[in-house]
Structure 1
Amino acid sequence: MNVLHKTDPAMSNRRFDSLVGLAAAFLICGLPAVLAADETQPASADKAAWGSVTGRVVFEGDMADPLLDRFRGELPVYEGRPTQRAAAGLEPDNPDAVRQVGVEINRTLMIDEATRGIKNAFVYLYKAPDAIHPRYSEKELEDVTIVSRHTRFVPRACIVQLGQTVQFKNLSPNYSTNIHVNTIRNPGFNSFFESFKQRAWETRRAERIPIKIQSDMRPIAKAWMLILDHPYAAISAKDGTFTIPDLPVGKHRLRVWHETINYVEKFVDVTVEAGKTTNMPNCKLTLEKLRKKHQR
């Protein structure tokens, strides 16, 4: 016996309306309506999700202490074959082969007399955060250029993000030099540069601390480069100030590093609040730390 099942018209209409609603949601949103919101939305640039950190790196101690003379003032510039020995303060094999041709400013420890701020300190997140602000991913990474100018490198301190190419240039018109990068986790670089020559170097891994760039031919020429796998880093200005913008909300661990003592602060924990700027306490490079590092 065939049994006919009657369909309730009201129920059919409700099912039809539900299907129409799902189809409309799919067409409008471009994604199934059943997906959770956090799975459908990209990282937001809304101020509610990000904040900034600011602070200062300062010197604490007697500014007239003789120990500071090692890192400030003027350095003699020599020419001649035994340049390395002469620049190191040792007696050259042949004094007639060496002559002093000028002086160079010692930029190892640059303290602003008015504010006691320290220039060229690195401040950076110790590890990459879980989220990166969209403006960083939208911005194309440009090459980082480091220039050799006879007895110094410009800039003295720089930050390189993985994906950026480092361009080394020798812009000394009458001098050849070598550029030696003392890497820890990356392939080494040590190359001879004639005047106005340029070479590119690709980074492969992030470094935990800044690495030294030097000229073995002109020992007073030094610089420092920090290679990171995220954009959250800054170099302190002349007055010691720094700002790291657009950090994700939450707790973060920062590191403060300077070439004279390495860790000014090995770890500093900060909490970033939505749409606000977190002011860190002053990061102090003290005379006591300097003496402990250099008078052993």
Structure 2
Amino acid sequence: MYRPQQCFAWCLLISGLVMFGGQSVAAAEWGTLSGKFVYTGTPVKQTDPRIPEDQSLIIGPQGGIKNIFVFIKDRRFKQELIHPDYQKLPDQVVIQHQGDHIEPHAAGLWQPHQKLVVLNKTPHLHLTHLFPLKNHLPDSLHEIPNRKKLIQFEHAELLPMQIKCDIHPWESSYLLVQNHPYFSITDETGTFQIKNLPVGEWEFRVWHESAGHLAAREEWQRGRIKIQIKPGKNDLGLVKVSPELFEKKTVGK
């Protein structure tokens, strides 16, 4: 039997499935963004074993640039646009003092869904210092051996923040805190991938600690890329990065 009330309810349900926070997006339309960053110069190898390895510019065996951040830049990102698979992410991101470094050297965190854990896996005392722009945190965290601290961020950050040890200044890392999970960090091959992006035009930022905003291509002003994400694969291709870009770091990055 035809019932107008049921038909109307079904129409409302279908309309809701294709609307996200006022932005019309087909429910099954998601895309993946990928790319590969390669260094065009000759990497300088560190030969003195007495000096801790410099991690500020890591070039892989095949020329890939490690630890480049690629992320959507949107301070008011609508949570309705986040793919449900991201809810499976762990609720903690762990960085740890290990050996002569902080590992990992580059990490990302989805605020407020994830908290930061700072762990000391060395026999030494560390004073872990975070340098946020938006969040108010203690100046230093006393990290005694085999102890950990839990940090909850209240705000997303504009850029990756530096984390360093006030006792061991060569120990440093960078953490990106965003209000969405759409970020990635290149591995030693220079490759990154961001999955399940909502289709549409988005502005991405490309950032590296030794260059700041990384304008690897002429049209990438201050490391900004506007990309029309289409369903399926979206590939930046091979991005060649010259050594000069890492020599032009400016105050404020």
TM-score (norm 1): 0.71
Structure 1 residue corresponding to 2:128, chosen from 170, 174, 179: 179
Matched, 1:126 2:73: yes
Aligned to 1:252: 202
> Please, what is the CA RMSD of the aligned residues?
2.5
Compared with structure 1, are the counterparts of its residues 40 and 282 closer, same or farther at alpha carbon in structure 2 (3 Å cutoff)? Answer: closer
Distance in 1 (alpha carbons) for counterparts of 2:194 and 2:173: 22
* 2:225 alignment counterpart: 268
Alignment of 1:87-106 (within 5 A): 102-106=50-54
Q: 1:283 to 1:34 in 2, by over 3 A?
A: closer
Mapping 1:75-114, distance limit 5 Å: 102-114=50-62
Deviation at 1:218, TM superposition (A): 0.2
Contact 1:75 1:106 in 2 (8 A): no
Q: Which residue pairs with 1:158 in the alignment?
A: 107
Q: Runs of 5+ in structure 1 lacking a partner?
A: 1-16, 77-101
1:2-43 Cα distance to aligned partner (Å, 9 max, x none): xxxxxxxxxxxxxxx7xx5135x27xxxx7356373236676
The one-letter code sitting in structure 1 at the alignment partner of 2:245 is K
Which residue does the alignment assign to 1:22?
4
Q: Look up the SS of the partner of 1:288 in the other structure.
A: helix
The structure whose Rg is larger is 1
**1:216 maps to which of 162, 166, 169:** 166
Cα contact 1:172–1:196 (8 A) shared by 2: yes
Distance, in Å, in 2 between the alignment partners of 1:253 and 1:111 is 27
Q: Give the SS at the match of 2:149.
A: strand
Q: How many residues align?
A: 234
Moved more, 51-60 or 283-292: 283-292
Q: Tell me, yes or no, if structure 1 residue 285 matches structure 2 residue 241.
A: yes
Higher relative contact order (CA 8 A, sep 6+): 2
- Larger CA deviation: 125-134 vs 183-192: 125-134
Write the distance in 2 (CA, Å) between the matches of 1:108 and 1:75: 17
- The runs of 5 or more residues in structure 2 that have no matched partner are 216-222
Q: Give the AA of the match of 1:229.
A: N
Deviations 1:80-114 (A, max 9, x none): xxxxxxxxxxxxxxxxxxxxxx4322211111232
Instruction: Find out whether 1:195 has 2:145 as its counterpart.
Output: yes
Residue of 10, 15, 32 corresponding to 1:52: 32
CA deviations 1:191-243 (Å, max 9, x no partner) are 11111121111111111110000001001000000000001000101110111
Structure with greater helix share of residues: 1
Per the alignment, residue 146 of structure 1 pairs with 95
